[in-house]
Structure 1
């Protein structure tokens, strides 16, 4: 599911910005320098180094053979070009008689993290990888997450290998997952994938990413699901100043996300059938939340007819349009309330559907970056083997929702504070200036307080405005910048 993506290009060395981000990490009790020698405790680093040299899959409670050799399968990864923590690799093919076969390899983190060890304890403390504009604070030491456990090209790696068969309409008809040794052949990036598919030069395993992605998007539309193409905010140095703009995601990013969603849905089905699992759940958004989005759409001059559903209006948006980009950012508020639900002894919760996916769903495809995925993958291997999950999984299962909730709160804080810091860095030398803006939200009980989106090019800023009279929702107004300090991470406007 989408997050608010933030990226710094060419401005990471700006002293006030870097200092503010380091201070934020310190305030959140995170390593100020996530790439430094003190980023992890010494005992964690030592255990990671030993595991990197000698990975050991968990003792086999399923009475299966050793991980089978799937290194002849020509897998490939699709990620941002700078990524080295590669959780997933895929191979796509056509089935005899019609339909498709998806092979999806997921890094087998359990082969490196021994239950109850220092690595395991540190992962339970961190819960998720945290992404800052200049650095990331990884869940696992980089010797694993960007080295021995990552599905880097031309390296043999332990993995959980999914095989999901689809019919001609893209509906899943059979699922299998088992431990395997895999070897990725190529590390691809989104722009190159998009270029090759558009040009018709992609080989069939890659070209099928579009075919299967489009079919899965149609299945998503049919069941009432929603995928938000949330644009990335990029801040860059330009002629001695900062610029902040939205970068619209490529279609290939959406097709790739559908493979992950497909696997998360297949995993949820396996766990609910077995009677033991952990689901990612989201209740249906209350009417008030949708009504608030309608007001924001009106403010941004987005036509939202009353007979058109939220899912339909979202699909009609174009992330390259600044107004649509701002609205998509606001749409993420409907994802509030998402959590993790554990069940055992066939007591599947009700409701157990993720409202945005419109189906049972779980997180299982990013174990290098998210704690719960390691356990979800193990539960699925047990379900396919029709065996009881290992004790180390069952012992940790009850505490996962609480741990993941705390990790999600920390992640949301990082994202919110980073946006504030970046916008403050962008505007720090312009306090007192006037800007054209549009009022996109007004507080119901405080009509003098609201949110504005700047209309200026290179200023993809959405910030608080207060003071003066009642704010005119949806109208353009002139505002004066009254505060912008990366040290305080706050940007504030007042009506001019």
Structure 2
């Protein structure tokens, strides 16, 4: 699906939008900057030197172009029996000491927040884009995972140890995808076959992913905003499999050690499954009996408007995600339903609070050592901290998108637009315009069905509240 762009160019609208976005931050209690004691602690922070030295291994990072907060670096080898994946994760626990000012502020924030008017990082830049970031050419302490895979991509062994690493190169997704497509040599040369093997393992497990197109607010150098939709590149999916594999290994270590924190999501109940199946039939894309829902979702043609409606309907199958801690008996329902395996978050400590606990627990479990007291005693606090930050992140994201959508339509009230109907409930439809890219609701006639295209009129657009209204 090509990217659709609509620019916000009127200076008055830009000013109103900037004020509305700023007010949204204030209403959600999002901080503008770090307190002085947190910044001072970040500047002074040092981590203990690891005993293991892996700086001779040519690690590489792979992230969106221009990224500076680099959580992960990889090195891939082919072996006689399959592949070896080394996955280095930034040593945030080494720099952020429990009980310190940075720790307290990170617990208050929970995760890095992404807003239309700027990023609100979890840690000061001195840590997130400096001392702890796996920048190329820099010696860094890291938690290095070593995962052995057989020729089918199934993991056969794993371990994690703290070590010195040095990334050799910072790769980005578009350039690396182009290099692999052209058959050029790259540190990511094996990523395609490993990623594809792991995707097949996901299919065999019964795992599922929505893979909805990303909607992103983009601000250009002139201050103009737009909303873009884009599909992930194949290399992003392959790279994500490294993180998923590491998260499953982390969960395994925690369950064996009988202490840790898992990322959980319940399987959809029969009522949700029946409702989704009924909606796929109505769309003319029936989900057949006996087919895993992950396999069904993977087979949808993303260029078909009905598929977008089916994916929107499938959101109901991916609800209830959270975190569960345990110290002794593992929690009931420890399987993350979409992953179709026990799973833990350990690969993004620069941007997500919970990973700091997961890493130190796994390192202790892998070495046979004791889990640090600070981590063990504070584990029960983490789910609530993450739930609060996730709620705030969702409110910030949706509120920002709503305000940009209203700004894009501010001078187009009264115009008519084609729109795809995503879903219909009780005479009200959730619709999506394609140019500008806007999602909204409106009343529709009783015979309007999901997956069809209708014409709607923009009736109102309020930047202050981020509301738009349409009539069909």
SS at 1:206 equivalent: coil
Tell whether the 8 Å contact from 1:302 to 1:324 is kept in structure 2 after alignment.
Answer: no
Matched, 1:376 2:352: no
Residue matched to 2:299: 316
Contact 1:248–1:320 (8 Å) recurs in 2? no
Question: How far 1:310 moved relative to its partner?
Answer: 2.1
| C-alpha contact 1:285 1:334 (8 A) present in aligned 2 | yes
Partner residue of 1:42? 36
CA distances 1:16-45 after superposition (whole Å, capped 9, x unpaired)? 3333222211111113xx5xxxx0111111
- Quote the Cα distance in structure 2 between the aligned partners of 1:42 and 1:135: 20
Identify if the C-alpha distance between structure 1 residues 10 and 442 changes in structure 2 by more than 3 Å, giving closer, same or farther.
closer
1:305–1:334 CA distance, 2 compared to 1 (3 A):
closer
Find the counterpart in structure 2 of residue 358 from structure 1.
340
Provide closer, same or farther for how the CA distance between residues 25 and 8 of structure 1 changes in structure 2, counting only shifts above 3 A.
farther
> What is the aligned partner in structure 2 of residue 16 from structure 1?
16
Asked if structure 2 preserves the Cα contact closer than 8 Å seen for 1:264 and 1:364, the reply is yes
Alignment of 1:86-105 (within 5 A): 86-95=70-79, 97-105=80-88
**187-196 or 231-240: bigger deviation:** 231-240
Unaligned runs of 5+ in 2: none
Give per-residue Cα distances to partners, 1:126-147, cap 9 Å, x unaligned: 0111111331111001111111
TM-score, structure 2 length as denominator? 0.91
Q: How does 1:85-484 map onto structure 2 within 5 Å? A: 85-95=69-79, 97-203=80-186, 205-234=187-216, 244-294=227-277, 297=280, 301=283, 303-307=285-289, 308-319=291-302, 324-325=307-308, 327-328=310-311, 331-345=314-328, 347-443=329-425, 447-454=426-433, 457-466=434-443, 470=446, 472-474=448-450, 475-484=452-461
Which sits farther off after the overlay, 473-482 or 383-392? 473-482
Instruction: Name the counterpart of 1:55.
Output: 47
How far did 1:15 drift? Answer: 2.7
The answer for the alignment partner of 1:3 in structure 2 is none
- Are the equivalent residues in 2 in contact too, given 1:86–1:151 (CA < 8 A)? yes
**Contact 1:9 / 1:234 at 8 angstroms: preserved in 2?**
no
- 1-structure distance, mates of 2:345, 2:16: 37
- Partner Cα separation in structure 2 for residue 418 and residue 7 of structure 1: 18
Structure 1: distance between partners of 2:348 and 2:7: 28
Change (3 A) 1:7 1:186: farther
How many pairs are equivalent?
A: 464
Q: Deviations over 1:84-142 (max 9, x none)?
A: 111000000012x2211100000000111111011000011101111113311110011
- Residue 65 of structure 2: aligned partner: 81
CA distance 1:241–1:334, change in 2 (3 Å): same
- Of 420-429 and 245-254, deviating more is 420-429
Displacement of 1:330: 5.1
RMSD of Structure 2 on Structure 1 (CA): 2.7
1: CA distance, partners of 2:460 / 2:36:
42
